[in-house]
Amino acid sequence: MIRKNVEAIIGLLEKQTQIYRKMLDLSAEQRDQMSNPDKVNELLLQKASLVKEIEKADLSLSEFKEKWNKDKGIFNSDEQNEISRRFEEIGSLLRSLLEIEQECIMKAEQAKQENKKEMKKVNIGKKALGSYSRRSASRKSKFMDKRG
């Protein structure tokens, strides 16, 4: 069965490679746009749809991937080389993708820490401002001066 579908397998590997390239491009753009939350959200939505495509392609290739080492002898050397090359390319794309994602995580963590510092400053400022505010003039005193 696997031998008959060599073109389909190569086609699925090519499709998966293209999807990972798109994902890599989106991740690189995300890394560069980390200071723009709206753009990052837009990119994350695009990446989520690509993840679904990757899952579909992976599901289609799962049986083949499991049997590749055992069954690769049924392919001629050109086919073996082509399939191996595509697996290596996908692996390389995944390594690059993970590297960029780690950078994005680090940038997001830095932004989170900066936001915490800013919020702390704002809260301190509110407390300081609150300590100087006057009580409302419409409030009646609890105690009356009987002297006059």
41-44 contacts at long range (C-beta below 8 A, 24 or more positions apart): none
Take residue 60 and report the two structure tokens written for it. Answer: 């289609």
Q: Please give the chain's pLDDT, 148 residues, in tens.
A: 455 678 888 899 999 999 999 999 999 999 999 889 899 999 999 999 999 999 998 888 888 877 777 777 788 889 889 999 999 999 999 999 999 999 999 999 998 888 888 888 787 777 777 776 655 445 566 666 677 5
Opening angle at CA 100, ends 34 and 102, nearest 5: 85
List pLDDT tens digits, range 8-36. Answer: 888 999 999 999 999 999 999 999 998 89
Take residue 106 and report the two structure tokens written for it. Answer: 């680090």
Q: Is the pTM of this model over 0.75?
A: no
Rounded-to-integer distance, Cα 40 and Cα 43, Å: 5
**Structural domains in the chain plus CATH codes:** 3-119 (1.20.58)
Q: What's the DSSP call for residue 75?
A: S
Q: What's the DSSP call for residue 76?
A: -
Q: CA quadruple 11, 86, 103, 24: dihedral positive or negative? A: negative
